[in-house]
Chains A and B, each alone.
Chain A
Amino acid sequence: MKLDRFDKILLSFLAITVIALGVYSARSFPAKTTAIETRSMERELAAQARVGLIEKLYAPVTGAMRGGQYQEALLKLEEVNTRYPGEAHGFILKGEILYRMGVPDGAASGFVRGIKLNGDYIDKNSPFSKRDIIAILVEKALPSALTAYKSSRSNPVLKENLANLNYLKSRLAGGCE
């Protein structure tokens, strides 16, 4: 390939831009260049603030649960839920209370609604993880739910309960979603 004058000029400029790019890339970005640098900090702050707020808001509920007073815990949960009706944590706590009260259908329903809103509750590493209790619920309740559904396939309640448990099983199994 024969290079003319224009090619040579372009090559010179190309060399200059490569050098300039190298020089600027080698320099560290100033600490306050953009908001991007603070994004991970803000995300961490938001996560920690959420943990603190949730613990504070639902403290009466978890307190009653620790004392084994599940009916009272449900009442306290209803009080909190009137102020924050769409919060995933409320559904998860309801699921946990009902599980401890021996109501697996209601427990599964609560867990499903909570996890659909916030998948953190099924993660192993989340501070609010309920993975273990959900795994036990699925293991215990799924066989009987399947038997019940097979005996009465037209019953929509049994169908929904089975679907809820299968959803939880699928989320426990993992996958990319």
Chain B
Amino acid sequence: MRLDRHLITVILSGLLLGFFGVMLSVWGNPENSGICVSCFIENSAGALGLHNNPRLQYLRPELVGFVLGAFASALYRREFRSRGGSAPLFRFASGFFLIIGCAVFIGCPIKLFLRFTAGDLTSLSGVAGLVVGVGCGLNGLAKGVELGRLSPAAAPRGSGLLAPAAFLLFLLFIFISPSFLIASEKGSSSQHAPLLISLAVGLTLGFVAQGSRFCITGSIRDILLMGRRAPLLWGGIAFLATALLVNFSTGRFNPGFAGQPGSHQEYIWSFLGMGLVGWLSVLIGGCPFRQLVKSGEGDSDAALVVAGMFLGGALVQGWNIAATSAGVPLGGKIAVISGFLLVFSGSILLRERE
């Protein structure tokens, strides 16, 4: 494989994601949650008053940074293009269930690998689930399950600006702290890296990831399809190796199954939760992180996924769906099964037959 500019950007994305993913925990974010899109969404939904768990309310600057960094990159690279119109409601529901799957596992695909590289061996069932989920999704694509192509014609011109505008508003909220914005004074949301560092990391990662198209589930998909020829394979390796190295060097590598931070030992549900995330991610074209990045580059369908993720972030707390160290609540199990109901029925209905 030739070391071209794209491959270098992909590897750089992996390196930065691995490095900052661990370092944000060192700087103050919760353990093994330096970067976790689903946690950030739950925290931010709480901060905006969408749920009332007093331990999970903080408008995460990293989240804002991902979208605005991607927006800046798309403008800089002249890649900003309003597009959409591909099964928007299905994507909205998928965003909702992406967060369900993540909440049952306790973490998004990025956090899955951050947990793994910190020695949390319970995450292995999640890794297996994610790989199987992506594999099933790919199989579905091969059999004609498609949401339809995104089209600039289907999206009104300028509609792609709405997501960056919303996150620009959130950025304003972070700095002016309006009275309706809530910030936890206890629990994991009270733990955070310094604001400007979090924001700078978010902007950097959003900027780089927009150019490289880096995505965890996309990496797995490409590896399954192309093997060693996939550039994202090398990005994924860079991510894992860097995270492992930084975890080791900061004394955060504690291998074991029991007593890991923010994890439970209900392996089947971890497998199913991440399986759901993997499958849905293939259908909608990217993991939760990639959806944020795409929403920043004008993809209004990805913006709908993000909106669905915010609804999911609110309801996993409000409806007692999210798993904790104590295990997966009944509501979480029912929600994951409901997510698969969407995947299966959607696959039947959306499948293009000859």
Contact = CB atoms under 8 A, between A and B. Distances in A.
Interface of A: 29, 36-37, 39-40, 43, 112, 116, 119-120, 123, 125-126, 138, 142, 162, 165-167, 169-177
B326 A167 contact: yes
Nearest to A138: B259
A177 B259 contact: no
Nearest to A167: B325
Given A125-B185, A175-B30, 6 more contacts: A39-B179, A125-B186, A138-B259, A166-B259, A173-B260, A175-B32
Given A43-B54, A169-B259, A123 B186 contact: yes
A177 B179 contact: no
A112 B324 CA distance: 13
A174 B258 contact: no
Nearest to A174: B31
A123 B187 CA distance: 7
Contacts of A165: 259
Given A29-B179, A175-B33, A175-B106, A170 B54 contact: no
Given A123-B186, A123-B187, A126-B186, A174 B30 contact: yes
A126 B184 CA distance: 12
A10 to B, nearest CB: 13
Given A43-B54, A176-B188, A176-B262, A171 B325 contact: yes
B261 interface: yes
Nearest to B40: A176
B186 A175 contact: no
B351 interface: no
Interface string B170-187: 000000000110100111
Contacts of A174: 30-32, 188, 191, 261-262
5 contacts: A170-B258, A174-B32, A175-B31, A175-B262, A177-B106
Interface of B: 30-33, 36, 39, 43, 54-56, 106-107, 179-180, 182, 185-188, 190-191, 258-265, 322-326
Contacts of A112: 326
A37 B185 CA distance: 17
A123 B258 CA distance: 20
B293 to A, nearest CB: 21
A112 B179 CA distance: 35
A166 B325 CA distance: 9
Contacts of B43: 176
Contact of A176 (B30, B179, B180): B30
B208 to A, nearest CB: 24
A70 to B, nearest CB: 28
Give the most central of A36, A142, A173: most B CB within 10 Å. A173
A142 B215 CA distance: 39
Contacts of A40: 179
A14 B325 CA distance: 51
Contacts of B186: 119-120, 123, 125-126
A37 B253 CA distance: 44
Given A169-B258, A169-B259, A177 B325 contact: yes
Contact of B261 (A36, A138, A175): A175
A24 to B, nearest CB: 13
